Structure 1
């Protein structure tokens, strides 16, 4: 199971990113544990200065803007 965190304040882009990750994971049949992190201290602790950020299994893989479907598929592979 992949542990994925979406880092952000809860803005529209953050919500869209979380939904997109859930949709791609469901389509690929990949089990994920998705957590939304909105605490700015925690977000800055990952070194993310631009949201939404995405952390997969403890590694920051994306920051700033909505990620593309191909990127998400790569993270879930």
Structure 2
């Protein structure tokens, strides 16, 4: 599973990355978590509001910090 956390590095983006990493560890799934800060890459993925979470190429959340329970649902727990 490839999880991309998109954002320029604002506090909400850091919070989203932390929550994603914690949820992946809690769910016990194998996932590569990447931080994407390049605006061209974000636009290529169709994301124009950050923070955002993209899992295996599918945008799951954009423009807000996702809830922990939502992330757990996305990663399969």
TM-score, normalization: structure 2?
0.93
List aligned pairs for 1:1-77, cutoff 5 A. Answer: 2-77=1-76
- Name the CA distance, whole Å, in 1 between partners of 2:28 and 2:53: 20
- Name the CA distance, whole Å, in 2 between partners of 1:22 and 1:42: 21
- Displacement, 1:48? 0.9
Runs of 5+ consecutive residues of structure 1 not aligned to the other structure? none
Q: How much is the aligned-residue C-alpha RMSD, in angstroms?
A: 0.8
Runs of 5+ consecutive residues of structure 2 not aligned to the other structure? none
| Conserved 8 A contact 2:45-2:57 | no
* Number of residue pairs the alignment of both structures matches: 76
Name the SS of the counterpart of 2:59 in structure 1. Answer: strand
- Name the CA distance, whole Å, in 1 between partners of 2:43 and 2:26: 31
- Displacement, 1:18? 0.6
